[in-house]
Amino acid sequence: MAQTVAQPTANTPAVPATLPLKAIAPWAVFFGILMLVLLYFVGAEQGATSVVSGEDVHEWVHDARHLLGFPCH
């Protein structure tokens, strides 16, 4: 069985070698804030700094606390 390979033509657009920082920065900030919020809920959402009352959030992230090395009891 013969296979042919398509050769690029002169009309094929060039792919940029690097992404501009302006394209990456908003996503980096978004994911950075998301990670900080997640870290708060896993690591500090209990006691005096609690945003949500009760033990619900603590129970939802209990195993993640132990996995990341946060003491909880």
The secondary structure of the chain, three-state, reads: CCCCCCCCCCCCCCCCCCCCHHHHHHHHHHHHHHHHHHHHHHHCCCHHHCCCCCCHHHHHCHHHHHHHCCCCC
Whole-model pTM above 0.75?
A: no
Q: How confident is the model at residue 10 (pLDDT cuts 50, 70, 90)?
A: low
Residue 47 confidence (pLDDT): 63
Mean pLDDT across 15-29: 85
Mean pLDDT across 10-35: 84
Residue 48 confidence (pLDDT): 64
Residue 34 confidence (pLDDT): 95
Residue 9 confidence (pLDDT): 67
